Amino acid sequence: MGTFCHVDKNAFPIEVGLCYILPRLEVGVMAVNAEPQVFLFLSEILGQPLIGPEGRPVGKIVDLVATVTEPYPVVTEAMIDREEQRGDLFLCRFPEVEEVRLPIHADRTTADDYRPPELRENELLLKDSLLDKQIVDTHGAKVLRVNDLQFLMARRCLHLVHVDVGFRGLMRRSGLEKLVDLFLHTFFDYNLPNQYISWKYVQPISTPDLLRLKITQDRLARIHPADLADIIEDLDVNQRSAVFRSLDVETAAEILEETDPKIQVSLIKDMNAAVASDIIEEMSLSEAADLLGDLPRDKAEGILKEMEQDIAEDVKELLAHPEEEAGGLMTSAVLHFLPETTVEKVLAAIRGEAEDMDFIYYVYVVNEADRLLGMVSLRELLAAPMAARLADLMDERVISVHLDEDKDEIAELFAKYGLMAIPVVDDLGRIKGVIPFKNLLEVVAPHLGKK
Amino acid sequence: MSERNEEGKKVNIFRRLFQKRFWRSLGLLFALIGPGIITSNVDNDAGGITTYSLAGAQYGLSLLWTLIPITVALIIIQEMCARMGVVSGKGLSDLIRERFGAKITVYLMMVLFLANLGNTISEFAGIAASLEIFGVSKYLSVPVGAFFVWWLVVKGSYKSVEKVFLVACLFYVSYIISGFMGKPDWGEIGIALVTPTLSADPAFLTMAVGVVGTTIAPWMQFYLQSSVVDKGLKAEDYAYTRVDIIVGSLTVNIVAFFIIMLCAVTLFQQGIRIETAKDAAQALAPLAGAYCTYLFAFGLLNASLFAASILPLSTAYTICEAFGWESSLNHKFTEAPQFYGLYSLMIVLGAAIILLPNMPLIGIMYYSQVINGLLLPFVLIFMLLLVNDRRIMGEYVNGRTMNLITWLTVGILILLSLAIVITSLLPA
């Protein structure tokens, strides 16, 4: 399982970890080893009293505040519930501790160390925002629930290093760890492993604020769009739109292309037209048209108005055709040239437009009236001399379909001729667009897996 | 491009948009009548039908009036669940886990698993009993039923499964038809319906409590909220959801009404004692005709199969949701092992226990009712705390009047479920 690091206390990469934690100190490995380090769980700290200077409990620890720093957040404050007045919460600076000793003693705490329970920038309430909540494991691309948080005690501070997502953590929290161990050991000779995820791969998602934390910003963007789309489908509606809104326009467009149409609609419906149009412009034309077709009419019109004129025109053209016919499957971004164009010019044009094209592997040759004459593949272009004209290279036996051709017929053509794309023409044989194989696959694929 | 062409295209776009919209509104209508109706109808499961038959056969029409307050309570409780689902986008076990922590959730889920397992056993008992009336041995009917249920859910998609469930809801009509076959005296029934009757007889009270307990069960709050979330219903759809819930709660009690009434006007008046729903079906033949028996048995089969499909599914969903395990019918077995494992375990155990000779079935049902009764107060209190939590519900928290009504309802239900526990534990 690549998802989890099965860490025991000895296997933790102390050198790596501490060098990050202590960038200012030039620590040698010897010095590091001399430092006592201990692991501690959040669940062990919560509910414990914080012992003040006079040896009397100041109150009960109900949460911990961590400042988010690279690579691991450091616990800076404890949220205290005063015993005498329940519900009266305040923050107290987390004492520097030499070794883990519960309850925690705050011997040198002074009045300056207290503050009202309001978070500053880049601070995080650990129990409130992580414990028992969902997170995204950006390494394994999964949504998981946090059973516990594990701290490393180093340099007198607690560093949040691991998130516990395993069954063992769950059993520990419910006080059944020993019982389950005994049971599994006796009957199955099995030791229940710990399942930790390094903080480096954790993206908290329980509130929209967490998605704006400086440190965590690009963690989601590192996930493959198809995986991130699956994750978004797993989230609840509120988290879903929060995560979606935290993404940059290009990632958002890629995610949209990968998600289920129903979810696409719910994500876009609540956005204002200007933001939505920026995202939709980044999508492939045919995907954009499908999405707009699924939206309520006034919303779709609003977005179309905000979009760049030429993209909007192309999308409208696609919208005019049913989704399951050639006209609805095609993208109108198609490379076509006159027969006398030279290879050099064609290649320059491809270079210039490749960014905005869904499909560049075939170029089509047309006459002045846009009537389809033939096609040339990118391979042939690259192999041909720069001065050659398309008229000499083109294959005139080009397979094309009419705008209203049905998807099943198109699928048969793809299979028969082994093509990567099929151009679409109107009644007069004028080229209107091209159907890349990927577009067809999206329509046909849902029917393939069914038994 | 010519002017005319431009115009034509525009019309085309609008027509397409309109067409999509039309189908969507129609789809919306059907989409929205899912969760409430299905949840309520599953509630008329084998255990429910048995309880209603016994109530009618032993106490005649005197318990009929309880259906009115039960309907009201059911609507109030389900409305809160649906509201939480719509506003938070999360299932009930998800909210309980996030708000009350791991420890409480682990124990709650263990109890819920046991309670639902008990219910599942009684569903398979219902399958066995109903098909025995048609002359099918339980050694054939239970394995086939278990396989059918497992196959339906594992091999079908969620959409097709829901359609099957909605069709199953329609089959409850068989009870209404069989009700008419008993040739009831509507005047007398109307009076009984609106006349609260109470008796100090402990057996009578136990039966009254049983009718309440079988209609409002812990698992349904989890199931309803999850299916509302699964549908992706939003706050703006909420008005429809409320209708769905009211219709669901009404239909469940209409079916209950017909069962109690039929047994009252036939079995009770002839003084026939019965112990199970199967007895009830068989005793109906000489009084209301053989078709009435078959309809009654068919209804029982439908209800048992229906609930046997949903209970294990709902349990697996609820538990996986609480612990963050992958839970979806769209995943393969290896991707969601806990989900399919729990689901299959419940079906296998439920069916196997019925087939074991000398199993104390009555005892199992008794204890499953006790566990349900113990669980319900906790679930209801958690629900009330959650629905009043502004961090979760925002402006959709209960209002003052609503809180008064709900705490009152919940208070009464808690007392009643404690009563079930006590009476079940007392020697009969």
Q: Domains in chain B, start-ordered, CATH in brackets?
A: 34-365 (1.20.1740.10)
B 185-244 residues with CB below 8 A of A?
Answer: 229, 232, 234
CA-CA distance, B226 to B209, in Å (whole number)? 27
Q: Residue A22: its pLDDT value, please?
A: 40
CB contact under 8 A, B102 and A317: no
Q: How long, in residues, is chain B?
A: 428
- Cα–Cα distances (Å) from A323 to A301, A310, A320, B18, B309, in that order, read 18, 21, 9, 14, 36
Bridge partners (DSSP) of residue A163 are A149, A197
The Cβ-side half-sphere exposure at B192, using a 13 Å CA radius, reads 19
Q: Residue A1: its pLDDT value, please?
A: 36
Q: How long, in residues, is chain A?
A: 451
Q: Residue B193: its pLDDT value, please?
A: 85
Residue A158 host element (H or E): strand A157-164
Q: pLDDT digits over A313-372, tens only? A: 888 877 877 777 888 888 888 889 999 999 999 999 999 888 878 888 999 999 999 999
User: What's the average pLDDT block by block, 10 residues per block, for chain B (428 residues)?
Assistant: 41 48 52 73 84 87 90 91 90 92 93 91 89 88 91 72 77 81 82 81 79 85 87 76 87 90 85 81 77 85 88 91 81 82 92 84 74 85 92 87 87 81 69
Cβ neighbours of A239 in B, within 8 Å:
89
User: Which one of B6, B13, B396 makes the best mutation probe of the A interface by having the most chain A beta carbons within 10 Å?
Assistant: B13
CA-CA distance, A57 to A103, in Å (whole number)? 9
Contact A221/B at CB under 8 A: no
Contact B15/A at CB under 8 A: no
B337 CB-near residues (< 8 Å, 6+ apart): none
Bridge partners (DSSP) of residue A421 are A436
Ranges of chain A with pLDDT below 50:
1-34, 449-451
Cβ neighbours of A204 in B, within 8 Å:
none
Cβ neighbours of A133 in B, within 8 Å:
98
Q: Residue B100: its pLDDT value, please?
A: 92
Q: Which of A145, A237, A293 sits opposite B232 (nearest CB)?
A: A237
Cβ neighbours of B90 in A, within 8 Å:
236
Q: Residue A255: its pLDDT value, please?
A: 87
Residue A108 is given by DSSP the state T
Strands A57-67 and A123-125 come out as antiparallel
Residue type, A33: N
CB contact under 8 A, A176 and B106: yes
Residue type, B328: S
Contact B19/A at CB under 8 A: no
CA-CA distance, A231 to A137, in Å (whole number)? 10
Structural domains in chain A, CATH included, are 1-216 (no CATH), 220-320 (1.25.60.10), 336-448 (3.10.580.10)
Q: Which of A236, A300, A451 sits opposite B17 (nearest CB)?
A: A300
Q: Which two tokens stand for residue B298?
A: 């068919």
Percentage of chain A beyond pLDDT 70 is 86
CB contact under 8 A, A238 and B21: no
User: Left, alpha or beta for A6 (phi > 0: left; psi -120 to 50: alpha)?
Assistant: beta
Work out the minimum CA distance from B91 to partner chain A, whole angstroms: 9
CA-CA distance, A239 to B274, in Å (whole number)? 53
B10 CB-near residues (< 8 Å, 6+ apart): none
Q: Are A422 and A413 a contacting pair, CB within 8 Å?
A: yes
Dihedral angle at the C-alpha atoms of A386, A389, A395, A399, nearest 10 degrees? Answer: 100
Q: Which two tokens stand for residue A258?
A: 């990968």
CB pairs under 8 A between A and B: 70
A424 CB-near residues (< 8 Å, 6+ apart): A326, A327, A330, A400, A401, A402, A403, A405, A431, A432, A433, A434, A435
Q: What 3-state DSSP class applies to A418? A: coil
| Cis omega (within 30 of 0) for bond into A103 | yes
Residue type, A300: A
Q: What 3-state DSSP class applies to A150? A: strand
Work out the minimum CA distance from B380 to partner chain A, whole angstroms: 21
H helices present in A22-129, as ranges? 29-34, 42-45, 126-129
Work out the minimum CA distance from B17 to partner chain A, whole angstroms: 6
Residue type, B41: N
> Torsions phi, psi of A55, nearest 5?
80, 5
Contact B97/A at CB under 8 A: yes
Q: Residue A7: its pLDDT value, please?
A: 41
Q: Residue B11: its pLDDT value, please?
A: 45
Comparing alpha-carbon positions, the chain A residue that sits nearest to B103 is A174
Q: Which of A132, A142, A297 sits opposite B21 (nearest CB)?
A: A297
